[in-house]
Amino acid sequence: MSKALRIGVAGLGTVGRGVVKVLQQNGDVIAARAGRRIEIVAVSARHRSNDRGVDLSSYRWYDDAAAMAADPGIDAVVELIGGADGAARRIAETALQNGKALVTANKALIAHHGMALAALAEEKKVPIRLDAAVAGGIPIIKAISDGLAANRCTAVFGILNGTCNYILTQMEQTGRSFADILADAQRLGYAEADPSFDVDGIDAAHKLAILSAVAFGARLSFSAISITGIRDVTPVDMKYADEFGYRIKLLGIARHSAAGLEQRVEPCLVRKSNPLAAVGDVFNAVVVEGDFVGRTVYEGRGAGEGPTASAVVADLVDVARGNRTPVFSIPVRQLTALQAVARGALVASFYLHLRVLDEPGVIAAISESLRDQEISIENLVQRGEASGGGIDVILTTHETREDKLITAVDKISKLRTVLNRPVAMRMIRA
């Protein structure tokens, strides 16, 4: 067996602890599959004295993780600290500058600095591996770059954030509000104390940027992604989506066509017959469409100690085998700056939820605003007892351009009888 791959682990939180456990418990089977042993020789974390439930006594300890990344006795660095800048970026750059392989689960780092890091890795002739950064235990990066290498990918989309999927699943099942379920998710450890990155769609957008680069050979452009979170979704929306035959999911959607590259993160009504509709709680699922293979679907746990650690170690096995495939499947200089599809150019059916006063002429005024934009109503439901808080009006449209819908919604929201800005969501019918 070849000489062991010596690694340093930066960050000993949930995932870092999991990586140590996997390598300690399954070291023999991993070595057999990798062709050589993968050995932790050094670790670094913010607090040395914390009890992490794993034996770290045989590893060199570094208070400065960037110094560990420069250690000549290390072949590969595992960065599990997180964040787009600061320590994580220093560790990554130091490792690559010193000719070491980099394995990371840090989607924010890659989404914002992946182009520069990939160029540095190619210059130094060392690999970057990042399967753990997207969809946890689902090997989606390898599936696209290796398993679907014969295809031109036309679309990649799915449920990319387990926290949001848990919240939406629980709202649907219990009828409780977003705020109540979020509080539960925080108590259970599914959501951070500051949940903004998750519930506002930022985390999913980081992952979508990476998937777009791998699937379409697109230059990373996080700023080109249209992002809408789930804070405005209500139990009422869940109820009517169900009546119409849909479930509400936060989706990351990237499609490549002659018009350019569409990249969006937003809550959508997904038809119950779609495989994504059945994916509940903290699970993730990704759909990839290729010109020869057609539609393929991948599902699994999108976060947590075990699934993410599994993905990290799988990346280490790639490094141990000597796999130097470019991080985005093709050399960074060949990535293309694809034209972004304007948000308003989307053609789709939409769901609208309005809260209105129960007065004569309300529905007529709403219908007129839609008619003026050539938007045809498919379904309309008006329910609820008249009260100071108004009643709910729910409608769905036939296919229309999104810019027309936005114009209509702006006009509707200014009507005296409409009590709040309408909630609008795209409908995924296929």
Inter-CA distances, 391 with 197, 205, 230, 386, 412, Å: 32, 34, 22, 6, 15
pLDDT of residue 387: 54
pLDDT at 74: 97
**Does the pLDDT value for residue 104 go beyond 80?**
yes
For 212-229, letters b (16+ CB in 10 Å) and e give: bbbbbbbbbbbebbbbbb
pTM over 0.85: yes
pLDDT at 385 over 80: no
| ∠ Cα 117 72 329 (to 5°) | 30
For residues 195-205, give the mean pLDDT: 96
Split at pLDDT 50, 70, 90, the class of 110 is very high
| C-alpha distances in Å from residue 271, one per residue of 12, 91, 257, 275, 402 | 41, 44, 23, 9, 19
How does residue 98 score in pLDDT terms, banded at 50, 70 and 90? Answer: very high
Task: Give per-residue pLDDT as tens, 273-309.
Answer: 999 999 999 999 999 999 999 999 999 988 888 999 9
Quick one: what percent of the chain has pLDDT higher than 90?
85
421 has a pLDDT exceeding 60: yes
Give the mean model confidence (pLDDT) for residues 104-118. 96
In the structure, what pLDDT confidence band is assigned to residue 386 with cuts at 50, 70 and 90? Answer: low
Among 124, 207, 272, 414, the one annotated catalytic = 207
Per-residue pLDDT, averaged over 135-160, amounts to 95
341-355 average pLDDT score: 92
β-partners of residue 77 are 8, 102
Res. 95 pLDDT band, cuts 50 70 90? very high
Instruction: State pLDDT tens for residues 304-329.
Output: 889 999 999 999 999 999 988 899 99
Reported as a single tens digit per residue, the pLDDT across 14-51 is 999 999 999 999 999 999 999 999 999 999 998 888 88
| Known catalytic membership, residue 107 | no
Residue 49's Cβ-count burial label (10 Å; 0-12, 13-18, 19+) is: exposed
The whole-angstrom separation of Cα 81 and Cα 426 is: 35
pLDDT (tens digit per residue) in 172-199: 999 999 999 999 989 888 888 899 999 9
How remote is the C-alpha of 400 from its chain's centroid? Answer: 27
Q: What is the mean pLDDT of the chain?
A: 94
pLDDT, tens only, 253-279: 999 998 899 999 999 999 999 999 999
| pLDDT score for 158 | 97
pLDDT-based confidence at 136, cuts 50/70/90? confident
Q: Name all domains of the chain by residue range, CATH numbers in brackets.
A: 5-133 (3.40.50.720), 140-301 (3.30.360.10), 344-428 (3.30.70.260)
